[in-house]
Structure 1
Amino acid sequence: MSAPKHRTNNIEALGCLLSVLASLVWLGAAAVIANAFGDLMDGHPVSVVRTGIWLMLLWGLRAALDLAAQGVLAQAADARIDALRHEIVMGEARAATPSALGGAGAIAALTAEKLEALRPALLRYRPARMRVLALPLVILCIAAWHSWAVALVLALAGPLIPVFMALVGWAAREASARQLQEVGQLSDLLVDRLAALSDLRLIGAGPATVDGFAQASEDLRGRTMAVLRIAFLSSTVLELFSALGVAMVAIWVGFSLLGELGWGGWGVPLTPTAGLYLLLIAPEFFQPLRDLAAAWHDRAGADAVMEEVRQWREDRRPQRLGRGEATSPAPMTTLETRGLRHRGIAYPDLLLEPGDNLAIEGPSGAGKSTLLRLLAGVEQPEEGQILVDGVPLSDRTADAWRAGIGWMPQAPHFVNGSLRYNIGFGETVAPDTLRAAELTGVIDLLPRGDLTRLGERGAGLSGGEARRVTLARALHGGPGLLLADEPTADLDADTARMISDSLLSFAAAGGTLIVATHDAALAERMAQRVAIHGKTAI
């Protein structure tokens, strides 16, 4: 067990212990109240001031212990949830392929929303379970000291609650799991529809999309109501058992004090003080059980979330090279591949030096983009080596290698920020970079220049202008190697020629250029060409 996890467990144990101590304080307060009223019933004088002081001290102590317990448990819950979020985020950052749990929406829902379902269980269930283990046993011993009949009633009524709770818990856990699965699927659906929002509007599919969301939301509402129905049903039955147990204790105490019952004690008449004390602590015997029953549904939800986390952990996916650390870029030197084979495709051996340029051709799905990902260290090859200046690309060298690579994806992606931020991400963008990507004229036409907010869809930019922004992003920082995936796809001839000129200018200035393309005109301008045809490469 790691040190942070061990420390979190210790904090949780301390919070549970404080919660148990807070509950035990009531036994002392009940004794003060019972003594005061017992003395009144026996005709003895009672000091109201002394009784009030004792009650204020005990209730103040209980409030302080409760407050401390909640603070400690909240700290432990924050630590545990933050640790799980960090684990998932770092795991997704290192994974080379999507998770089997679903797309980005499902993972985002698990990380941001579903993990919060652990908080009620950590704050309520574990303390309640600890109180169930301690408080009823203490009260049962006190009750048995005064009356075996009261102890028998409590001993018979108490176990019915956990038994029924376990039966209901099975159904609650299954219902919670179905509900959480619906949340993940709805999140994935939302991400997919937002990504295709423009296309959906163009083909007039907006009403059908809205209807689909409405149906998915209605299904989620049904799952949620199923969980609530189970919770209300179990709470009603548990309250019935508790009320019957307390009522039976009250009947025995009342008739014993009236002299109508002579059995149930230990041969000693029941005193008013003892009878009142038994009446006051009897509800407290059932309170931890009720608290545990209420928190049982929190635990069911938490179990469903942890089951998803377990499935995520067991999803063995290819890992990208590197440790994800920020580092200085390694200088671009010789790039070589030897015996590279991945996903059934045998790639040809390559040897590239600064200033070289290479076109990778082939049909869709042949493995062109995969080769770019292998060269960037985003995926690890199943066989063969990628050597940088004669040194194999590994976890130790991949971060510095990627820091010196410019990446131009096939589909432009933007963040909700300005054009300048979408290029440099907070760093200063050199004017030469904008000129190299031929963005100067585009910026002059925007309402606020390079401070114009683009939004996540690149609002205000044409397809060619958006592609130039991604080219400027790839050129930012002066990379030694530029990887471009279909840089001229879906562009008109003039814009494609402009992008091609910018890419070749980068190579002419000493940069190494590798392009995966279907564009025959661009490929003919490259110095080297490699054709990939699925399972074989030429």
Structure 2
Amino acid sequence: MSRFRRPPPSPAARRLAAIEAPAAPLLRRSARLTAAAALLWPVQAGAIAWAISGWVEGGAPLSDTLACALVFLLAAVLRAALDHRAGALAFEGGDRVLAAERARLVEAESLRGEAAAGTDAPGQGASSAGAAAMAAQKLPMLVPYLARYRPAALRAVVGPVAILAAAAPISWAAALILLAAGPLIPVFMALIGVAAARASRRQLAEISDLNGLLMERLAALPDIRLLDARERMARDFAARSDGLRARTMAVLKVAFLSSTVLEFFSALGIAMAAVYVGFSLLGTLGFGAWGAPLTIFEGLFLLLLAPEFFQPLRDFAAAWHDRASALAVAEEIEAAEAAEPARILGRGAPAAPLPGPATIRLAGVVARGRALPDVEIAPGRSLAVTGPSGAGKSTLLAALAGLLPVERGRIEVAGRRLDAETADPWRARLAWIPQAPHFPDAPLRAVLDPRGTGDLTEALRAAEAEGVVAALPQGLDARLGETGAGVSGGEARRLMVARALASRADVLLADEPTADLDAATAAAVIRGLRRLAERGTTVIVATHDPALIAAMGAELRLAPRTAPEPAEAGG
């Protein structure tokens, strides 16, 4: 006969266990304290039943009542202390996990931003919106699970077993009633939990979509105002907000349905126990009490035990819904980690510039499954990398910057192999213009002057960006935000050209710097790039723009998914 095997946990369940691991010792202690607190109720119930039965039967001295009250109060104080300490440990564990996951998310997002900048990866605005939604709205959904699930699970085992152990010696019938009604709660909890998990996943997806829409609209705010599209933007937000409301209400409907079902079976079990005890005390039922009629004390004791038998199961059912939400969050974290790009070469930390002439040489390089051309670029040359979409233009630029580790072949920069040791010093000599410029949370003056030269006048004039800065309310002290709110795409790229001029970079890598710009703005960007080249900077651009291609000194054309013919770009 084949032995029963428990199915392996899902990836989301494994990820949730890994998230929980740092706080597992605290959560185990919390669960044990909660279980210990649950074991005190039979003592309190016995004290209440003994005191009341003494009053009903008469003749009980006042000292017995006082003793019962003292036992009840001492047990209540101890139970409250245990519950308080258990809750503190659980929330401490939840806060610890939340802080660790947010720190990991920030680190992963920063690495993803560096590795995805200028590659074929989607825009960083959507990625940042997703990360913000995860950090601010989704990760906190782990805390109720961490704080309640493990204590509720242990209490759901220890509490009912202890109550059955206390009730069974008094009445096998009452114990049988509880034993029959109790399992119905976990069964329906599991059935409804499937719908709860599905509803939670849909709610999380809607939160991500709404945050992504907000980031996109903030980035396009100048264009929206220019096109007078504010009403349409408001309608889009209203529609998306209504979708989130519907998803949230779906989660609440499932929660209310679960609560209704569980309360029904709890009330049914308690009512059946009460009916049995009542008719037994009246003498109508003469079975189930091990051969002797129930006494007042025994009947009251059983009645007080019945609600507490179901309470841990109801708490566990509520925590089960918390687990469904936490699994949905873990599933998103697992998917995000699976989609993370490769880590960049080096540490991404400041470093002294790599010495030597800024020569670049590629030999037999394969990156992201694409064969890149064997090419040598001499210092001070300008090169346009062209080819159809998907040919690997952005991949080539990312590989040259050390943002994308190569699978095979060799890249040499300044006469040395580009690897983890030389990547940071090499990037200290580079300037980068991505397709969608991003700005750190710092004054524009600090962004445009990374080396602290103190004078940006010449750089802004050469990049034709003086008017851009003058139009900002705070000028060089303005903070543009990640996506450059307050400037257009062309203005943002001219600012990036000014940054390259101010930093006196030896090499500039630009990914589609004139894409989606009008002719006049594109011409201004091209003139800025040409001024960089005239100053001796090596300028390498990925582009489809014929005007920009003509302005460069050489062209390297890539073919999709194949190794292009070697091209001479250094002569």
Q: TM-score range by the shorter chain?
A: 0.7 to 0.9
**1-structure distance, mates of 2:491, 2:229:** 27
In structure 2, the CA distance between the partners of 1:243 and 1:131, relative to structure 1 (3 Å rule), is same
Offset of residue 135 of structure 1: 0.6
Relative distance call for 1:520 and 1:286 in structure 2 (3 A) is closer
Q: For structure 1, which segment, 154-163 or 67-76, has the greater mean C-alpha deviation from structure 2 after superposition?
A: 67-76
CA distance in structure 1 between the aligned counterparts of 2:351 and 2:44, rounded to whole angstroms:
66
Is contact 1:409–1:470 with CA below 8 Å preserved after alignment?
Answer: no
Partner of residue 33, structure 1: 48
Give CA deviations for 1:155-194 in whole Å, capped at 9, x if unaligned.
1111111111112112222222222222223333333333
> Of 333, 350, 362, which residue of structure 1 is paired with 2:386?
362
Aligned-pair CA distance for 1:493: 8.0
2:477 to 441, 451, 474: 451
Unaligned runs of 5+ in 1: none
Instruction: Find the partner of 2:61 among 23, 26, 45.
Output: 45
Aligned residues between the structures = 530
Q: Please, which runs of 5 or more residues in structure 2 have no aligned partner?
A: 1-13
Report the equivalent of 1:71. Answer: 88
Deviates more, 1:482-491 or 1:367-376: 482-491
Distance 1:99 1:486 in 2: 15
Alignment of 1:300 onto 2:324: yes
Residue deviations 1:219-269 (CA, integer Å, cap 9, x gap): 322222222222212211211211122122222223333334332111234
Counterpart of 1:146 in structure 2 is 170
- CA separation of 1:473 and 1:26: change in aligned 2, threshold 3 A: farther
Query: Would the aligned equivalents of 1:345 and 1:534 in 2 still touch at CA under 8 Å?
Result: no
Q: How far does the alpha carbon of each residue in 1:454-509 deviate from its partner, in whole angstroms, 9 at most, with x for none? A: 456656657665434323434566544332335566445873465135413542xx
Q: Does 1:187 align with 2:203?
A: no
CA distance in structure 2 between the partners assigned to 1:494 and 1:219 by the alignment = 43
State the alpha-carbon separation in 2 of the partners of residues 493 and 6 from structure 1: 53
Q: Deviations over 1:198-228 (max 9, x none)?
A: 3344445443333233223223222222222
Aligned equivalent of 1:262: 286
* 1:335 maps onto 2:364 in alignment: no
Give, in whole Å, the separation in 1 of the partners of 2:454 and 2:312.
68
Aligned to 2:496: 470
Over 3 Å counting, the alpha-carbon distance change for 1:77 and 1:361 in structure 2 is same
1:155 is matched with: 179
Correspondences of 1:413-492 after superposition (within 5 Å): 413-414=438-439, 418-423=443-448, 429-438=452-461, 448-454=474-480, 458=484, 466-474=492-500, 479-487=505-513, 490=517, 491-492=520-521
Q: For residues 448 and 192 of structure 1, what CA distance do their matches in structure 2 show?
A: 24
2:6 aligns with none
| Alignment-derived partner of residue 372 in structure 1 | 397
The 2-side partners of 1:223 and 1:4 are apart by 26
Q: How far apart, in 2, do the equivalents of 1:204 and 1:106 lie?
A: 28
In structure 2, distance between residues paired with 1:241 and 1:497: 74
Q: TM-score, normalised by structure 1?
A: 0.86
CA, structure 1 residues 434+72, in 2 after alignment: closer, same or farther (shift >3 Å)? farther
Distance 1:75 1:460, change over 3 A: closer
Q: 2:424 aligns to what?
A: 399
Please tell me the root mean square deviation across aligned C-alpha atoms, in Å: 3.5
Alpha-carbon distance in structure 1 between the residues aligned to 2:371 and 2:466:
44
What are the Cα deviations for residues 349-406 of structure 1, in whole angstroms up to 9, with x where unaligned? 33346x5232224256354333211101112334422123444323344334334422
Distance 2:183 2:488 in 1: 70
Relative to structure 1, is the Cα distance of residues 69 and 379 closer, same or farther in structure 2, using a 3 angstrom cutoff?
same
Distance 2:240 2:531 in 1: 47
Q: Which moved more, 1:8-17 or 1:198-207?
A: 198-207
Q: Which amino acid aligns with 1:362?
A: T
State the 1:520 CA deviation: 6.5
User: Which amino acid is 1:495 matched to?
Assistant: A
1:495 aligns with 2:524: yes
Other structure's SS at 1:378 match: coil
Percent sequence identity over matched residues? 45
Q: CA deviation at 1:151?
A: 0.4
- TM-score by length of structure 2 reads 0.81
2:384 aligned with 1:348: no
More off after superposition, 220-229 vs 9-18: 220-229
Out of 233, 252, 256, the position equivalent to 1:228 is 252
Q: Equivalents in 2 of 1:419, 1:326: separation in Å?
A: 21
Aligned to 1:13: 28
Q: Secondary structure at the match of 1:146?
A: coil
Residue 140 of structure 1, CA deviation: 0.6
Q: Judging changes above 3 Å, is the alpha-carbon distance between structure 1 residues 3 and 325 closer, same or farther for their aligned structure 2 residues?
A: farther
1:84 matches 2:101: yes
Question: Which residue in the other structure is 2:75 paired with?
Answer: 58
Distance 1:68 1:502, change over 3 A: farther
Q: Secondary structure at the match of 2:438?
A: coil
Aligned to 1:241: 265
CA distance 1:409–1:140, change in 2 (3 Å): same
